[in-house]
Amino acid sequence: MLVLGLESSCDETGVALFDTERGLLGDAIYSQIALHAEYGGVVPELASRDHVRKALPLIREVLTGAGKTTADLDGVAYTAGPGLIGALLVGAAIGRSLAWGLGIPAIGVHHMEGHLLAPMLENSVPDFPFIALLVSGGHTMLVRVDGVGRYRILGETLDDAAGEAFDKTAKLLGLPYPGGPELARLAEQGDPSRFHFPRPMTDRPGLDFSFSGLKTFALNTLQALAPTETDKADVARAFEDAVVETLAIKCRRALQETGISRLVIAGGVGANRQLRARLAEIARKEGGAVFYPRPKYCTDNGAMIAYAGALRLAAGAQELNVIGARARWNLDSLEPPDQQRAS
């Protein structure tokens, strides 16, 4: 089954082709970073308009690159939420219309399910059940995954997402949008022993997170300094260490509490090298293993949507033929694909 995947939930237009027999046949991404950079964050209306401009050329590019035409497609998957509603509706309208025109099924994919299943695009894939740490710009959660569509949220952030905390702290450090990767680069030059930031909510039981205090801690530290470049690198390092260690403590706790030893990391912050190394260490110590997508499939991409959609369509999932999207959508409200019926 050959499925075209479209991702347009935020500031990246992602397109990919996934074949359930042959794997990923091609993918392309267009990032709107330059468009939003001067505003210091994503401007939703500009994002929607740019998806309109880029989606069709990217679809053509991916099909041509794989030596395919729209006539070869067996299904279309698009991100139906959560995300920016206007941006989502662009993908939904294009995906549904294309599928309707071709007489093939379309399916709306949950963006976080895409992230969660992205490690399956790699050679070494985890068996179910596994624990997934989803860390993106909009979400931070620990999920118990018993199968496709069988998700239990064990903990989540009570305020800022980890990526959001990275981006806001990067802004305080004067780094350009999107700050996460920039902050991580600066932190490499920082002295890890100079500042010690708190590890929020690790001194009490439970698997929830809170990251907004770390940003304030960074602000207070910087304000006391009139910071030089060295000071900024040291603050970046202390901040990154605090986020990584907090996530690591909660992941270890989730593995211990569930007795599951396989850990998956997904979402944009999963591209962070220090986090990947630290979580690999934790999983090893727990006698298990860590699985993550390659960095380009950690951040938003079309491949994860094509893959999740192909799994669902191949298992017989059905939806009403309606163009729609959801800005908010709980991951644990999803059903396994064989129970997903149009009604």
In the complex, the residues that contact ligand KG4 under the rule CB under 6 A are 10, 136-138, 163, 166-167, 178-181, 184, 267-269, 271-272, 299-300
Picked from ligand KG4, Zn ion, none, the partner binding residue 169 (CB below 5 to 8 A depending on kind) is none
> What is d(CA 59, CA 82) in angstroms, rounded to the nearest whole number?
22
By C-alpha distance, which of 280, 260, 262, 282 is closest to 272?
Answer: 280
Picked from Zn ion, ligand KG4, none, the partner binding residue 27 (CB below 5 to 8 A depending on kind) is none
Spell out the residues 6+ positions from residue 135 whose beta carbon is closer than 8 angstroms to its own.
Answer: 161, 162, 163, 247, 265, 266, 267, 268, 269, 270, 275
Q: Are 2 and 17 in contact (CB under 8 A)?
A: yes
Picked from Zn ion, ligand KG4, none, the partner binding residue 86 (CB below 5 to 8 A depending on kind) is none
Picked from Zn ion, ligand KG4, none, the partner binding residue 271 (CB below 5 to 8 A depending on kind) is ligand KG4
> Which whole-number Å values give the CA distances from 126 to 38, 121, 122, 145, in the listed order?
41, 11, 10, 11
**Min CB(241)–ligand KG4 separation in Å:** 12
Nearer to Zn ion, 112 or 255 (CB): 112
Nearer to ligand KG4, 75 or 179 (CB): 179
Picked from Zn ion, ligand KG4, none, the partner binding residue 5 (CB below 5 to 8 A depending on kind) is none
**Min CB(314)–ligand KG4 separation in Å:** 25
Binding site for Zn ion (CB under 5 A): 136, 300
> What is d(CA 176, CA 167) in angstroms, rounded to the nearest whole number?
9
**Min CB(304)–Zn ion separation in Å:** 9
Q: Which residue is nearest to Zn ion (CB)?
A: 136
**Min CB(170)–Zn ion separation in Å:** 18
Nearer to Zn ion, 43 or 222 (CB): 43
Nearer to Zn ion, 149 or 178 (CB): 178
**Min CB(121)–Zn ion separation in Å:** 15
157 in helix, strand or coil?
Answer: strand
71 in helix, strand or coil?
Answer: helix
**Min CB(132)–ligand KG4 separation in Å:** 13
Q: Are 13 and 101 in contact (CB under 8 A)?
A: no
Nearer to ligand KG4, 26 or 268 (CB): 268
> What is d(CA 11, CA 164) in angstroms, rounded to the nearest whole number?
14
136 in helix, strand or coil?
Answer: coil
> What is d(CA 24, CA 117) in angstroms, rounded to the nearest whole number?
14
Nearer to ligand KG4, 32 or 98 (CB): 32
